[in-house]
Amino acid sequence: MAYISQIAFLLVLAVAGYLLSKRIGRIKKNIQLGKDIDRSDQKGERTKNMLLVAFGQKKMFKKVIPAFFHFLIYAGFLIINLEVLEFIIDGIAGTHRIFAPVLGDFYTVAINIFEFLAVAVLLACVVFLIRRNILGIKRFTTLAGWPKLDGNLILVIEIILMFAILTMNATDMLLQGNDPHYTQTGDFFFSSFLTPLFEGMSVSALHFVERFAWWFHIIGILGFALYVTYSKHLHIFMAFPNTYFARLVPKGQMKNMDEVTTEVKAMLGVGDAGSSEPPAEIARFGAKDANDLFWTDLMGAYACTECGRCTEQCPANITGKKLSPRKIMMDTRDRIEEIGLNLQAGKPSEDGKSLLGDYITAEEVNACTSCNACVEACPININPLDIILQMRRYMAMEESSSPQSWNSMFQNVETNFAPWKFPPTDRFNWADKVNN
């Protein structure tokens, strides 16, 4: 029977590993559809950002109450998964609580710590369910359909998984002494409150419940790992690379288009005079579709937590405009997923649709004030503004579809070197008046 259990566990592990690796590979390929950008500089500063923002949750604590409960889930996720290592070893080797004889009394202390964190995670999930569905917080109530269901579903799954751990430990304590396969570990504090539910059951029934809870938890963890790759909860993993590769320059500094900069320098005679190679042909100014964006933008779309803090701080959204930075990121992720599926099916990426127009409207893009409030608010340094600016560039340089007032300003800057329509020679007349 033990061999059958081991074989079944190995099969479950292999299937989960295959599906997970396949999905990770698909996400990686989708991100690589973006344009190249070099983010290999300042490795020390990037590592510091990752440790402070992703691992240390630095920006989360701008809102103390949700940050505290998020920290409980985050710490629980990291530490409780240490117990999963024992699950995996037990499943492969056919053992039970393999670390108990090695660690002795410390094993009981460790499991009690894990149980405390499990209860803390359970409590935090209940609080977040209340915040999402009862308190009427705007950044949650504006979500609908799958995004809303996804947020609730993951919280319910985590609650069930925590109960599975406590149930497994409660029945395990009752089996100790009745079944030689179960190692004596001492009492576990939190799960002992559940033992009255199972007292009076036969040894075989207790064994069934304990094994069911064990299998349910390990399959649940593996299923959870696969599920998050389709969910907003992918940020659990993507927050780390996203904060590492985030922009390090001041937020107000906009990135010039290298192709345009090179062309302007050539016209002014200040370019690389020694270069004999003709400039590379420019495929497209700005971004019309998701694969016109940089790979860092696509990575940010997959890292988005859909928390809505960016939209909550956006002045355009606050004043009733259609712009929602959260929607920008969600639309970008949905579109690059669609392009990736087309390519996987052997279809061309050009399917008659585009990010700008079919997913994001010109009205949304033009409503942005470029204030960087969304970038500052994001707890993992996602940059919706970069995507908006690239789409604006496409509208201005490829379609000439910017608002008329903007086109007039562009023309004035080009001809008069200022947004206003007056001769360049009059630019400093104001200074003469000040001196007088």
Give the tens place of pLDDT for each residue, 40-79.
999 999 999 999 999 998 999 888 888 999 999 988 888 8
For the segment 248-290, what is each residue's pLDDT rounded down to a tens digit? Answer: 999 888 888 877 787 777 777 776 645 555 555 666 788 999 9
Q: Is residue 54 part of a domain?
A: no
Q: Is residue 105 part of a domain?
A: yes
| In a shared domain, residues 229 and 301 | no
Q: Is residue 235 part of a domain?
A: yes
Picking from 244, 270, 298, the residue at the C-terminal end of a domain is 244
Residue among 338, 327, 398 nearest 363 (CA): 327
Model confidence at 12, pLDDT cuts 50, 70, 90, reads very high
Which alpha helices (DSSP H) does 270-308 contain, by range?
Answer: 295-303
Q: Is residue 40 part of a domain?
A: no
Picking from 229, 244, 259, the residue at the C-terminal end of a domain is 244
Alpha-carbon distance 330 to 326, whole Å? 6
Residues 372, 385 contacting (CB under 8 angstroms): yes
For the segment 181-208, what is each residue's pLDDT rounded down to a tens digit? Answer: 888 888 899 999 999 999 889 999 999 9
- Where residue 201 falls (left for φ over 0; alpha for ψ -120 to 50; beta otherwise) is beta
Query: Measured on CA atoms in the order 29, 30, 32, 38, is the torsion positive or negative?
Result: negative
| In a shared domain, residues 396 and 418 | no
With tokens 């579709």, the residue in question is: 289
| In a shared domain, residues 292 and 366 | yes
pLDDT of residue 234: 92
Strand partners, 35: 294
Q: Is residue 52 part of a domain?
A: no
Alpha-carbon distance 80 to 218, whole Å? 12
Alpha-carbon distance 260 to 404, whole Å? 23
| In a shared domain, residues 8 and 152 | yes
Provide the CATH number for the domain around residue 392: 1.10.1060
Q: Which two tokens stand for residue 133?
A: 């569905």
CA 284, distance to chain mean position in Å, is 28
Q: How many alpha carbons lie under 13 Å from residue 47 in its C-beta half-sphere? A: 3
Q: How many alpha carbons lie under 13 Å from residue 13 in its C-beta half-sphere? A: 14
pLDDT of residue 160: 94
| In a shared domain, residues 120 and 138 | yes
The answer to whether residue 85 scores a pLDDT higher than 80 is: yes
Alpha-carbon distance 52 to 262, whole Å? 37
Number of domains observed in the structure of the chain: 3
Alpha-carbon distance 72 to 76, whole Å? 6
In degrees and rounded to multiples of 5, residue 314 shows phi and psi of -70, 120
**What residue type is 250 in one-letter code?**
P
| In a shared domain, residues 120 and 203 | yes
- Within 10 angstroms of residue 283's Cβ, the number of other Cβ atoms is 8
For the segment 377-427, what is each residue's pLDDT rounded down to a tens digit? Answer: 999 999 999 999 999 999 988 888 888 888 888 888 888 878 888 887 887
| In a shared domain, residues 299 and 160 | no
DSSP class of residue 360? B
Residue 45 vs residues 3, 51, 243, 374: alpha-carbon distances, Å: 50, 10, 11, 22
The answer to whether residue 133 scores a pLDDT higher than 60 is: yes
With tokens 């340089």, the residue in question is: 397
Average pLDDT over residues 300-323: 94
| In a shared domain, residues 85 and 221 | yes
Q: Is residue 355 part of a domain?
A: yes
The answer to whether residue 436 scores a pLDDT higher than 80 is: no
Which alpha helices (DSSP H) does 176-228 contain, by range?
Answer: 203-227
| In a shared domain, residues 347 and 428 | no
Alpha-carbon distance 413 to 407, whole Å? 10
Alpha-carbon distance 391 to 378, whole Å? 21
| In a shared domain, residues 170 and 289 | no
Alpha-carbon distance 365 to 396, whole Å? 12
Indicate the pTM of the whole model.
0.88
For the segment 89-126, what is each residue's pLDDT rounded down to a tens digit? Answer: 988 988 888 898 888 889 999 999 999 999 999 999 99
| In a shared domain, residues 128 and 13 | yes
Q: Is residue 383 part of a domain?
A: yes
| In a shared domain, residues 67 and 213 | yes
Q: How many alpha carbons lie under 13 Å from residue 143 in its C-beta half-sphere? A: 23
Q: Which residues of 372-401 are buried (b: 16+ CB within 10 A; e: fewer)?
A: bbbbebbbbbbbbbbbbbbbbbbbbbeeee
Q: Is residue 253 part of a domain?
A: no
Domain housing 196: 2-31+63-244
Picking from 188, 218, 244, the residue at the C-terminal end of a domain is 244
Helix (H, G, I), strand (E, B) or coil at 294: strand
**Average pLDDT over the chain, rounded to an integer:** 89
